C-alpha cells in the first residue's frame, strides 16, 4: 500500500460536509437505542437484546451500506471525474498498491463510524445484561462487512460513472428485496455475509442469519479478495485505455 496516496485520499474523503452527513447517519442507531432504553418499561417492557438487535439490523441494512457506498464510490471516483487518475497511473506505481491505498482510505473512516455506532448503541441496549459476546459480534461483523462493501463500491466506480445509483440498486433492491425472495441469491449478498459472521461469533439464533456462519465467512473472504483483484486488473486496463 502506498502511504502517500492513502493519506491524500483520506484527506479528500474527510471533507467537512460529507463527514458531518455520515456522522449524523451513524448516530441514528444510537438515538434509537437511547429512546427505547428510556421508554416506559412498565407499560411496554423492552427486551435489551431485542433493542440491540434492532440497532444492529438498522446498521446492517441501511447505515453500513450507505456509508461505505458514499466513501467507496468517491475514493477512486474523484480521480476519474476530475481526470487526475491519468496522472496517478502515469507514475511508476504498483496498481496493487494504488488499489489497496484507495481501499484502506475508504474503509478506515467507514469502519470507525460503523464500529463506534454499533458499540455505543449496543452498549446502551445491553447495559447490565452481561451480553459482551453479542456486542463484540456487532462490532467485528460490521467492520468486516465495511471492508467487503468498500471493495465492491470501489470496483463499481471503475466500471461506471453511475456507481452511486447502481450501488443503491444493489443495496435496496438486490439485498433488500431479491435475497429475501430467492434463497440462492444470498450467496451474492454482503449483508448476508455480515449477518452470518455475526451468527458465527455469537451463535445467537435471534440474529436471523440466512447463511451458515462458516459459509458466510468463507464467501466474504473470497468475494472481497476477488473484488480487490478485479479492481487491480481494471486499473491496468484503464491505464492502457487512458494513456494510449
109: which 3 cell numbers? Answer: 473512516
Q: What pLDDT is stored for residue 93 in this prediction?
A: 76
Average pLDDT over residues 40-62: 67
Which range scores top for mean pLDDT: 8-22, 64-78, 196-210, 229-243? 64-78
- Nearest of 122, 111, 112 to residue 32 by alpha carbon: 122
Q: Select the more confidently predicted residue: 93 or 217.
A: 217
Q: What pLDDT is stored for residue 172 in this prediction?
A: 92
Whether pLDDT at 180 is above 70: yes
Q: What pLDDT is stored for residue 39 in this prediction?
A: 65
**Cα(19)–Cα(128) distance, integer angstroms:** 32
What 3 state SS string does the chain have?
Answer: CCHHHHHHHHHHHCCHHHHHHHHHHHCHHHHHHHHHHCCCCCCCCCCHHHHHHHHHHHHHHHHHHHHHHHHHHHHHHHHHHHCCHHHHHCCCCCHHHHHHHHHHHHHHHHHHHHHHHHHHHHHHHCCCCCCHHHHHHHHHHHHHHHHHHHHHHHHHHHHCCCHHHHHHHHHHHHHHHHHHHCHHHHHHCHHHHHHHHHHHHHCCHHHCCCCCHHHHHHHHHHHHHHHHHHHHHHHHHHHHHHHC
* Whether the predicted model's global pTM rises above the 0.75 cut: yes
Q: What pLDDT is stored for residue 44 in this prediction?
A: 47
Whether pLDDT at 243 is above 80: no
- Tell me the pLDDT band of 129, cut-offs 50, 70 and 90: low
Whether pLDDT at 178 is above 50: yes
pLDDT in tens, 63-80: 999 999 999 998 887 777
% of the chain with per-residue pLDDT over 90: 33
- Nearest of 58, 50, 55, 53 to residue 33 by alpha carbon: 55
Whether pLDDT at 156 is above 90: yes
Average pLDDT over residues 118-128: 78
Mean pLDDT of the chain: 82
- Tell me the pLDDT band of 6, cut-offs 50, 70 and 90: confident
Q: What pLDDT is stored for residue 207 in this prediction?
A: 65
Whether pLDDT at 241 is above 60: no
User: Cell 444510537 maps to which residue?
Assistant: 30
Amino acid at each position: 500500500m502506498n502511504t502517500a496516496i492513502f493519506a491524500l485520499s483520506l484527506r479528500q474523503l474527510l471533507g467537512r460536509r460529507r463527514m458531518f452527513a455520515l456522522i449524523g447517519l451513524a448516530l441514528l442507531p444510537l438515538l434509537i437505542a437511547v429512546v427505547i432504553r428510556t421508554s416506559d418499561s412498565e407499560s411496554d417492557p423492552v427486551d435489551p437484546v431485542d433493542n440491540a438487535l434492532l440497532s444492529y439490523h438498522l446498521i446492517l441494512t441501511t447505515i453500513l451500506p450507505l456509508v461505505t457506498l458514499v466513501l467507496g464510490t468517491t475514493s477512486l471516483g474523484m480521480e476519474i471525474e476530475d481526470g487526475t487518475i491519468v496522472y496517478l497511473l502515469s507514475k511508476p506505481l504498483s496498481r496493487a498498491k494504488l488499489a489497496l491505498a484507495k481501499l484502506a482510505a475508504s474503509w478506515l473512516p467507514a469502519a470507525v463510524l460503523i464500529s463506534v455506532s454499533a458499540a455505543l448503541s449496543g452498549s446502551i441496549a445491553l447495559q447490565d445484561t452481561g451480553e459482551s459476546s453479542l456486542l463484540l459480534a456487532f462490532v467485528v461483523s460490521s467492520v468486516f462487512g465495511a471492508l467487503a462493501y468498500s471493495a465492491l463500491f470501489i470496483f463499481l466506480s471503475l466500471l461506471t460513472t453511475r456507481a452511486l445509483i447502481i450501488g443503491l440498486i444493489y443495496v435496496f433492491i438486490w439485498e433488500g428485496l431479491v435475497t429475501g425472495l430467492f434463497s440462492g441469491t444470498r450467496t451474492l449478498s454482503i449483508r448476508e455475509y455480515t449477518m452470518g459472521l455475526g451468527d458465527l461469533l455469537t451463535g445467537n439464533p435471534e440474529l436471523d442469519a440466512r447463511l451458515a456462519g462458516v459459509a458466510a465467512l468463507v464467501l466474504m473472504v473470497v468475494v472481497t479478495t476477488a473484488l480487490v483483484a478485479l479492481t487491480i486488473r481494471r486499473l491496468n486496463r484503464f491505464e492502457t485505455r487512458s494513456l494510449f
